[in-house]
C-alpha cells in the first residue's frame, strides 16, 4: 500500500509542480489568496474530496475531506498559500500548500483499506492574522487525531518548538502645540513612545533568555516644529511558553502606562495581530515522520535535531489542540534565509519541486502508518495527554 501511495503522488507530479509554480507566480497576501485557494480546492475536488469553502467565515479558507466511511483515525494536513508583501512567496508557501494536497491525495488511496479519513485544511494568512488561530478557536481541529505540515528551508530539521507571541500596540494621545513658540502648552505623545521603549529596554535585563521584545514606531509626528499629539508603537512579545508571554505582556503594558503618567498623555493598548501559541511537537509523531523521510532515501546525518524555535507560527495553536508536527525540508544547497528574494527564487526551482514531492510522500506515508497501527496512534495520544497535564 505504501508503494501505491507513492505511485499516486509520482503519477500526478507534473500537476503538483504546475500548481506550485502557478501559486508562486501569483502571490497573494493573507486573506486575499483567492487564486491560490481556488486551484487547491479545484484539485482536491477533482480527486474525490468533499470541500467546504469559507471555513470559519474566512473567505479563502477551506476544509477538504476524503472519508473512507470506515471507523479509523483522522489525519489532518495543513495547507498554507499566503505570500509576503514585496517579496512574494519568499517563505515557500507555494510549496507548503501544494505539498499538503499532494500528501492528502496520495493518502486517500489507502483509507479504503485502513479506514479513517484524511482532511486537508486551507489555512490563510499565516504570515499575519493566522487562519489557524481562528480555526483553532472555533474547535475545527478537535476532530483530528494528528496534524502535520512541512515547511521548506535550506536544510532538513526535525519538528521542534516555536515561540508564543502577542502583537501589542500602544497609542498615545497628547496635545499639539508650537514646539518653539509655546512648548509648555503641549503634551508630547512621541515622548511617551520613547519612554515606553526606554522602559522596555530596562525590562530586557530581567527577562528569561528565551524571550524577545522588539518593536517599531509607525507614527511619531508630522513636523519637527509641532509637538506631536499622536504617536504609536507596535511590539512583538515572544517567549517559549504562552504563560510567560502573558506575564511579559502585563509588564510591557506597565511600561507604557508609566510613560503615559510621566508625560501626561493618554494611552490605549490593543492587539494588532493575532496571538500565536508555542509549538508543542509530538515526539512520537515526529519520529514516525523522520523514519519515513529516511526510508525515502534521506541520509539520517542530514536530518538535524530539534531546534528551539526563534520565530512564531500559527501551527502552534494547532499543536495545543491536537498532536502536531512542523518539520522542515531542504529545498536548496545555499543557506538562504526565509523572507528573502533569494529564498523566493529557491522556492521556484526544480530542486524545491523535487523536495516538495518528497515531503508530500513522507507526510502521506506517516499518515498511513498511523491509520494502520493502533499502537503508534495510542502512543501519540498518550504523549499528547501527558504534555497537556505537564503544561496545564
Q: Please give the full DSSP string across 328-381, using - where no structure is assigned.
A: EEE--SS-PPTTSHHHHHHTTSHHHHHHHHHHHHHHHHHHHHHHH-HHHHHHHH
Q: Please give the full DSSP string across 146-172, using - where no structure is assigned.
A: EEE--EEESSEE------EEEEEEEEE
Residue 49 scores a pLDDT above 70: yes
| pLDDT (0 to 100) of residue 387 | 86
pLDDT digits (tens, 9 = 90+) for 192-244: 999 999 999 999 999 999 999 999 999 999 999 999 999 999 999 999 999 99
| pLDDT (0 to 100) of residue 154 | 95
Q: Is residue 107 domain-shared with residue 196, that is, in the same domain?
A: no
Cα 119 to the center of its chain, rounded Å = 18
| pLDDT (0 to 100) of residue 313 | 87
What are the distances in angstroms from CA 20 to CA 95, 154, 169, 176, 268? 6, 18, 36, 52, 43
Q: Is residue 121 domain-shared with residue 217, that is, in the same domain?
A: no
Q: Is residue 291 domain-shared with residue 255, that is, in the same domain?
A: no
Q: Is residue 66 domain-shared with residue 135, that is, in the same domain?
A: yes
Domain end point (choices 271, 292, 314): 271
- At residue 137, φ and ψ (nearest 5 deg) are -60, -30
- Let me know: does 49 contact 104? Beta carbons within 8 Å: yes
| pLDDT (0 to 100) of residue 195 | 98
Residue 392 scores a pLDDT above 70: no
pLDDT digits (tens, 9 = 90+) for 360-389: 999 999 999 999 999 999 999 999 999 877
Q: Is residue 101 domain-shared with residue 233, that is, in the same domain?
A: no
- Let me know: does 312 contact 164? Beta carbons within 8 Å: yes
CATH number assigned to the domain comprising residue 351: 3.40.630.10
| pLDDT (0 to 100) of residue 8 | 97
Q: Is residue 65 domain-shared with residue 87, that is, in the same domain?
A: yes
Q: Is residue 36 domain-shared with residue 158, that is, in the same domain?
A: yes
CATH number assigned to the domain comprising residue 186: 3.30.70.360
Angle at 275 between CA 123 and CA 85, to 5 degrees: 60
The average confidence (pLDDT) of the chain is 95
Record the cell numbers describing residue 145, joined without a space. Answer: 487525531
pLDDT digits (tens, 9 = 90+) for 139-171: 999 999 999 999 999 999 999 989 999 999 999
Domain end point (choices 210, 244, 271): 271
| pLDDT (0 to 100) of residue 365 | 98
What range defines the domain where residue 247 resides?
164-271
Domain end point (choices 251, 271, 291): 271
pLDDT digits (tens, 9 = 90+) for 242-278: 999 999 999 999 999 999 999 999 999 999 988 999 9
Q: Is residue 62 domain-shared with residue 124, that is, in the same domain?
A: yes
Residue 288 scores a pLDDT above 90: yes
Within 8 A by CB and 6+ apart from 257, the residues are 267
Half-sphere CA count of 74, side-chain side, radius 13 A: 16
d(CA 334, CA 346): 9
d(CA 6, CA 362): 9
- Let me know: does 192 contact 172? Beta carbons within 8 Å: yes
pLDDT digits (tens, 9 = 90+) for 293-348: 999 999 999 999 876 666 888 999 999 999 999 999 999 999 999 999 999 999 99
Q: Is residue 109 domain-shared with residue 36, that is, in the same domain?
A: yes
How many domains does the chain divide into? 2
Q: Is residue 234 domain-shared with residue 374, that is, in the same domain?
A: no
What are the distances in angstroms from CA 170 to CA 231, 277, 299? 8, 22, 49
Instruction: Tell me the Ramachandran region of residue 347: left when phi exceeds 0, alpha when psi lies from -120 to 50, beta otherwise.
Output: alpha
Q: Is residue 38 domain-shared with residue 134, that is, in the same domain?
A: yes
Structure confidence at residue 127 as a pLDDT band (50, 70, 90):
confident
Q: Is residue 140 domain-shared with residue 241, that is, in the same domain?
A: no
Amino acid at each position: 500500500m505504501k508503494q501505491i501511495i507513492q505511485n499516486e503522488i509520482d503519477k500526478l507530479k507534473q500537476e503538483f509542480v504546475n500548481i506550485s509554480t502557478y501559486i508562486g507566480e501569483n502571490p497573494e497576501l493573507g486573506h486575499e489568496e483567492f487564486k491560490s485557494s481556488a486551484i487547491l480546492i479545484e484539485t482536491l475536488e477533482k480527486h474525490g474530496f468533499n470541500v467546504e469553502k469559507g471555513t470559519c467565515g474566512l473567505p479563502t479558507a477551506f476544509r477538504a475531506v476524503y472519508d473512507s466511511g470506515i471507523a479509523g483515525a483522522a489525519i489532518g494536513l495543513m495547507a498554507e498559500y499566503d505570500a509576503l508583501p514585496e517579496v512574494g512567496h519568499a517563505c515557500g508557501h507555494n510549496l507548503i500548500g501544494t505539498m499538503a494536497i499532494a500528501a492528502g491525495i496520495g493518502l486517500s488511496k489507502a483509507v479504503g483499506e485502513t479506514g479513517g479519513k484524511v482532511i486537508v485544511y486551507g489555512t490563510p494568512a499565516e504570515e499575519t492574522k493566522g487562519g489557524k488561530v481562528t480555526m483553532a478557536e472555533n474547535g475545527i481541529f478537535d476532530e483530528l487525531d494528528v496534524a502535520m505540515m512541512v515547511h521548506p528551508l535550506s536544510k532538513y530539521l526535525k519538528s521542534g518548538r516555536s515561540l508564543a507571541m502577542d502583537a501589542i500596540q500602544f497609542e498615545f494621545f497628547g496635545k499639539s502645540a508650537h514646539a518653539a513658540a509655546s512648548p509648555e502648552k503641549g503634551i508630547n505623545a512621541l515622548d511617551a513612545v520613547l519612554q515606553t521603549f526606554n522602559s522596555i529596554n530596562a525590562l530586557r535585563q530581567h527577562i528569561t533568555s528565551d524571550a524577545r521584545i522588539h518593536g517599531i514606531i509607525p507614527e511619531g509626528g508630522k513636523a519637527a516644529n509641532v509637538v506631536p499629539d499622536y504617536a504609536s508603537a507596535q511590539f512583538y512579545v515572544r517567549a517559549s511558553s504562552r504563560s510567560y508571554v502573558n506575564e511579559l505582556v502585563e509588564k510591557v503594558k506597565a511600561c507604557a502606562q508609566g510613560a503615559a503618567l510621566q508625560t501626561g498623555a493618554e494611552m490605549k493598548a490593543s492587539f494588532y495581530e493575532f496571538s500565536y501559541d508555542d509549538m508543542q511537537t509530538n515526539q512520537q509523531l515526529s519520529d514516525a515522520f523522520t523514519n519515513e523521510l529516511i526510508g525515502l532515501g534521506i541520509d539520517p546525518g542530514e536530518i538535524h535535531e530539534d531546534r528551539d524555535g526563534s520565530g512564531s507560527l500559527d501551527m502552534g495553536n494547532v499543536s495545543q489542540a491536537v498532536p502536531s508536527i512542523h518539520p522542515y525540508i531542504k529545498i536548496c544547497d545555499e543557506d538562504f534565509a526565509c523572507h528573502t528574494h533569494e529564498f523566493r527564487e529557491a522556492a521556484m526551482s526544480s530542486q524545491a519541486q523535487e523536495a516538495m514531492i518528497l515531503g508530500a510522500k513522507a507526510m502521506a506515508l506517516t499518515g498511513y502508518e498511523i491509520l494502520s497501527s493502533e499502537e503508534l496512534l495510542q502512543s501519540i495520544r498518550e504523549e499528547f495527554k501527558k504534555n497537556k497535564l505537564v503544561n496545564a
